[in-house]
Amino acid sequence: MGTPLSLTLAGRISELTRLTEETARFCRENSLGEEVEFDLTLVLEELFTNVVRHGGCEGMPDAALIRMQMEPAGVALEFEDRGAAFDPLGAPPPNLNATLAERQPGGLGIHLVRQIMRDLRYDRADGWNRITMLRAIERATGVKLDIADFQILRSAQPADDNGFHAQESSRDRVISCHHTHL
């Protein structure tokens, strides 16, 4: 389903450019909107930056491996790194009510990841940290119309060969079509 992505990154912050470009390409090829692209980029940049700056991956070749693929419920994302063992899901949530002076450094990025993604899981195997997660996407199952947004149009125009009448409204340039044989 869809075009998957597999990306290996060296432990250099400069790899963020490639990460952002490849995430954008994945979203484009899978017809995902800007909000999904923004969320995926934010999550991946946060995870990657953390492993380079705090996880011991700086300068390491093949420091992180990212896989994304479309699933019926959304984008399945797997982030693996060769850094020090660290379960970000076990980190305590930040105290968002504390003042800036009282707040402990760190933890906000992981908090954002938890807020954006669903079904997060962590494991460590063969020297790799692995986080799997899902960016849920609501798919339209039909057309939802708010009747307040549209005018009900009655057309005196003749029906086309298929029995449809069409009339353009001046409000929001909406095209209204209705079938004569309902």
Spell out the domain ranges in the chain.
Answer: 5-136, 147-179
What is the DSSP annotation of 86-116? --GGGSPPP-TTS-TTTSPSS-HHHHHHHHH
| Burial status of residue 17 (CB atoms within 10 A of its CB: 0-12, 13-18, 19 or more) | exposed
Whole-number pLDDT of residue 109: 81
State the pTM of this model: 0.72
Whole-number pLDDT of residue 139: 65
Return the closest-CA partner of residue 21 out of 45, 49, 47, 3: 45
Whole-number pLDDT of residue 168: 42
- Indicate the CATH number for domain 5-136: 3.30.565.10
pLDDT by 10-residue block (mean), the chain, 182 residues:
93 98 97 96 96 96 97 97 92 76 73 92 97 87 41 42 44 36 34
**Distance, CA of 142 to CA of 34 (rounded, Å):** 21
Whole-number pLDDT of residue 97: 77
Residue appearing with tokens 């953390």: 50
For residues 98 and 47, the answer to whether their CB atoms sit within 8 Å is no
Whole-number pLDDT of residue 146: 41
Whole-number pLDDT of residue 153: 34
